[in-house]
Amino acid sequence: MLKNIPAIMPPELMKIMLEMGHGDELLLCDGNYSKFGCPERCVRMDGHGVCEILEMILQFFPLDRYTEHPAMLMAVLPDDPYKPEIWERYREIGKRYETDGIREEALEKLAFYQKGNRCYACVATGEKALYANVILKKGVVQ
């Protein structure tokens, strides 16, 4: 056992984050996310939500300071009146670990799927909130 590793951290996810380099991207996807938009390397965390996992990951995972938007969200479809309340929770979590927060941008659904498919890895969650998907771009430790 190691000290200070969150109990929910799968060893495979810690290994993946250690393997990733500057500019590599990690997809956190909600329970409704399509396999079409996932990379081959995937860690299943079905019993957990994205906020819980984001909180765990950002303790170790620096966001890229050299890009304007190191976090990408899936934009709400144009004809959908839904307002993703979970995004505000992501911003609150980001502020605890990153000086400038997560600095996100919203990508159109198809563009998000295409980018998600090219990520280094994904974490498949049991998140039930809609539009809860997020891609994180890894930065450097300074």
Q: Does 64 participate in catalysis according to the annotation?
A: yes
CA distances from 108 to 111, 140, 141 (A): 5, 27, 30
Q: Does 22 participate in catalysis according to the annotation?
A: yes
The catalytic position among 22, 80, 82, 100 is: 22
The catalytic position among 30, 64, 90, 131 is: 64
Q: Does 97 participate in catalysis according to the annotation?
A: no
What are the backbone dihedrals phi and psi of residue 10, each rounded to the nearest 5 degrees, phi first? -75, 135
Residue 59 has a CB neighbour count (10 Å cut-off) of 12
The catalytic position among 33, 90, 113, 131 is: 113
Q: Rounded CA gap, 123 and 100, in Å?
A: 24
Q: Where are the alpha helices (DSSP H) in 98-137?
A: 109-117
Residues forming the active site: 22, 64, 113
